[in-house]
Every structure is written in C-alpha cells, then in structure tokens.
C-alpha cells in the first residue's frame, strides 16, 4: 500500500499571508509528482507535474518544489487571496502502476 501524506489537513489564513503545504511520498518507484487544485463543486484540476529531483515549478503566486530522494514536495502560495481557497491534492505517480492521491490540504483564505 502506497502512503501519500499531506499536511496540514486544513489551514486558515488571512488575505495577503503566504503559506505552504507538504506532501510526502515513497522514495522508491518514483515516476512523477502532481499537484491538483480542487474547488468546491468542481473537479480537480492539475497545477503542476514534476518528474526530476530538484524540480521547481511556478505559476503566478503558486510554486512547488520536489525532493525525490527524501520523498517530499512543498507547495507555496505567496500573498494568498480568497480565490485561492480550495483543497490542494498531491498525487504520487509510480512507475510500477497507478497514481495515488493524498487526502489533501484544505485552504481557507479570509478577506
């Protein structure tokens, strides 16, 4: 059983705060690590896919880093806005089979 863990489970911040979440995953059979954004009443949408140790991705105020040797990825949001409120999921893609999702971090940004 693959263990993909995300922390914290939930996070409440004020508008303008910067924040970060963690995803930990197995360090063996690594193929790719994905971050998804899941808004209420919508389907998850991909934010980033990272495949190489040391990868860093950036999209606007959101960025992510990857450490495959120690099995973790960080997602950062700079200057959080209310529209950033969502559940952020990471998924571990194994070269041995299917992708496995973590339980997500639910972010609430208060105006």
Residues in contact with another protein by CB under 8 A are 31-32, 34, 38, 43-46, 49, 87, 89, 91, 93-95, 97-101, 103-104
Residue 83, classed as helix, strand or coil, is helix
- Measured between alpha carbons, how far is residue 96 from residues 17, 29, 65 in Å? 39, 6, 23
Least CB distance from residue 79 to another protein, whole Å?
26
Residue among 15 and 56 whose Cβ is closer to another protein:
56
Least CB distance from residue 82 to another protein, whole Å?
21
- Write the DSSP symbol of residue 109: E
Residue among 19 and 87 whose Cβ is closer to another protein:
87
Which residue is it, tokens 């495949």?
A: 51
Least CB distance from residue 36 to another protein, whole Å?
8
Residue among 17 and 26 whose Cβ is closer to another protein:
26
Least CB distance from residue 30 to another protein, whole Å?
9
Task: Respond yes or no on whether the N-terminal peptide bond of residue 8 is cis (omega within 30° of 0).
Answer: yes
Nearest Cα residue to 102 out of 71, 60, 79, 81: 71
Q: Residue 35 forms beta bridges with which residues?
A: 48, 90
């Amino acid at each position: 059983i693959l263990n993909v863990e995300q922390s914290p489970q939930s996070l409440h911040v004020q508008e303008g705060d910067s924040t970060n979440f963690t995803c930990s995953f197995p360090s063996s059979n690594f193929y790719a690590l994905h971050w998804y954004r899941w808004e209420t009443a919508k389907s998850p949408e991909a934010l980033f896919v990272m495949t190489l140790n040391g990868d860093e991705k950036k999209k606007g105020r959101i960025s992510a880093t990857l450490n495959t040797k120690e099995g973790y990825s960080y997602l950062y949001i700079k200057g959080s806005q209310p529209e950033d409120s969502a559940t952020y999921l990471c998924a571990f893609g194994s070269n041995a089979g299917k992708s496995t999702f973590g339980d997500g971090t639910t972010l609430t940004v208060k105006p």
